[in-house]
Chain A
Amino acid sequence: MTSNFWESSHYNHWIIDRITLGQSREDDLRHATAEQLAVINIFFANMIARLGKRLGIRAQVVATAIVFFKRFYLKNNICETDPYVVVPTCLYVATKIEEVPLHFKPIATETKNMYVQDYGLQITMPDPQSIAEMEFYLLEDLDFHLIVHHPYRTLMQLCGESNASRAVGESEEGEAGEAPVEGMRFWSTGKGTLQFEEAARSQAWSVHLGCRCAIPQTHAWNRHIINDTLRGDFCLLYHPHLIGIAAIFLTLVLDGDSRNRTDETEAPSRGYATRSKAPCDPPPNPVDFLASLNVSYNTIAQIVQEIISLWTLWGRHLVGEADTDRKGLQTSRSGNQGMSDDDVIRKLVDMHRARKRDEQNGVQSRLFEKPKPPKPVKKQ
């Protein structure tokens, strides 16, 4: 990643508008509702994260893989391709780009294990060769634009240098961070950074959503906001630093919110409990924080709104919890209308069948009629 986002392929070619995004999904939307498609997207992002976890891969690598996956499906239809091959291939390429290379053989093995053990999939498993072959096609469909900018870095910059190394090591499941590394000193002046103290900082990435949203509290909803955004379309629509700022803003808002609710909340999040003892500056006021940054309030508000919508949508469904959680949820929420992993898997089969029928009836898929690169939008 080069330092200058404004000259990057990410900015110049891969930030698109909603209309373009909608067009890229027209074919899939013939066979699934918008909500189902959104759930399918969450399902696959979770799947990549889970595969990453199995392989011991860090959050940033997983994030890159998820972005690859989403970009691939700007140019392709889920109903016409095999996402079960695309998933490991995205991760394979991401490990090379993020300098933690893995051979495709162990990736293929782990993918198979995951498909069988975690998803009970009965498909022809992608063998190593098919991943290696798929790499070629994936690279092409990505236009060889392989360097992806993530919101993590914005967090690092805004939250100061010492926090930076922590954030870079921040992983999907909050595993231990990395030691600070040489080279950090090349950026982040430390000027104008947010002074989160230790506890609030750890909370900055994970929020006790139960306090905020109409989401069942029976489940542990502590999540990393930024990782959560990867389940939606944020990385295709918004500049990474805006997503990062929205995540911080949301944290501040929710933090304040949970503080007001101390008395009501039975089990405050761990972060909160520590922070009430810490003799520190109060966290920055969200409004002051936003005002201090030269960004569009409307865009931030919109991203925040969409993150909350994503949570709400996610909360309606049962996709992608860790195995045990999933089972727990399924029993506790039986009778719910939402889709489980199994439902998604079945839905995918239906979509492929439906597309096949269409094809036999001579219905062309639109994406392939006019294979044009996504139109980038510049202004934000």
Chain B
Amino acid sequence: MENSNDNICLPLPVTISNWFTTYKQREDYLVNFLKNILPSSDVKDIDEELRKLFPLTKRKGKVTNKPEKSSLMAMRKCIRLYLNQTKTYIQYKQMVPLNSLWLGYMHHMLGIKNFTSLPMNFTHSHWESINHRLIKADFHGAIITIVKSKCPSTIGIEGIIIQDTKNTFKVLGKDNVIRVIPKASCIFRIHLEHNVYFDVFGKELCIRPTERSVKKFKNFQIPDL
């Protein structure tokens, strides 16, 4: 047993180690071989040709450190993430003025002095143009309730829209809790005045808020819910 243990620590006999080749040896062998075979005019180019890299070679070229992505974006992301953490710091009472600001904006947007003069039926002459304007409007600060939904637990939630993403609304309820509601499976009722409201299929709002102001909408869409 002792003998075998000693054998492990000993260097390998020369006869065996000759069998092994290292990377450098193989490279030298290749260069020598090429120098012998190629005509004398091409010998100069051997070094250059070997240095070239091919798409599937195992050896990689020098990895240059890419400059880090602009710190501006990282900064913005940090602040955006902050929004999810500070849930309890927004209070419903403080956000009520935002809704009155939004109502003033909607007056300008629709070009109407009173919301009661909005068209009620599709037979009205302004029906289409007002629909077009409504869907391009901004919904931050609107008071909404959910009328119908595929998910029964979300029905009846009421609150002010705080954030508007592609597939969700973030709604601040009267109990100062922010809820995330998926748009696609809901019908929203957006309140304008005391008794004036309009119902919207959530599926038609599934656009990023910045893209909404530019996108062109089809006149007729078949709602599926």
- Do the two chains belong together in a single complex? no
